[in-house]
Amino acid sequence: MISCLRKCCPQGLRSSRGFAVAAVLLAVALAGASGATCVSEADFDGNGAVDFDDFFLFADHFRTEPGGPGWDPALDLDGDLDVDFDDFLRFADDWGVCEGDGG
């Protein structure tokens, strides 16, 4: 990337200040790109990662059904109107595929 910046950037961006501006723009572009490609139904809290926070939410709602206490259709990953081991397997498939601010 640095070699590209040296070869491709306009003269104004070759200064240290210009390089800093380019680096910030690149970071924003990469953050936007990773957010756009990192979408998982298992990211229950929407922090951009499928992580322990999502696991704890899932565990809190495990073995729930519509009309019962704790039912949340967002955690029914296979859409068969319960939160069970089949949903856990789908959750596990997405574990760690996204990296966000949740670590």
CA dihedral 84, 86, 91, 95 (to 10 degrees): 130
Instruction: Please name the residue ranges forming H helices in the chain.
Output: 2-8, 16-37, 52-60, 85-94
Minimal distance in Å, beta carbon 42 to Ca ion?
Answer: 8
Minimal distance in Å, beta carbon 77 to Ca ion?
Answer: 6
- Residue placing its CB nearer to Ca ion in the complex, 19 or 88: 88
Binding site for Ca ion (CB under 5 A): 43, 45, 47, 49, 54, 76, 78, 80, 82, 87
Rounded-to-integer distance, Cα 7 and Cα 52, Å: 43
- Residue placing its CB nearer to Ca ion in the complex, 25 or 52: 52
3-class SS at 20? helix
| Number of CB atoms found within 10 A of residue 82's CB | 18
Which DSSP symbol is given to 77?
Answer: T
Minimal distance in Å, beta carbon 68 to Ca ion?
Answer: 13
- Residue placing its CB nearer to Ca ion in the complex, 12 or 66: 66
- Residue placing its CB nearer to Ca ion in the complex, 43 or 61: 43
Minimal distance in Å, beta carbon 61 to Ca ion?
Answer: 11
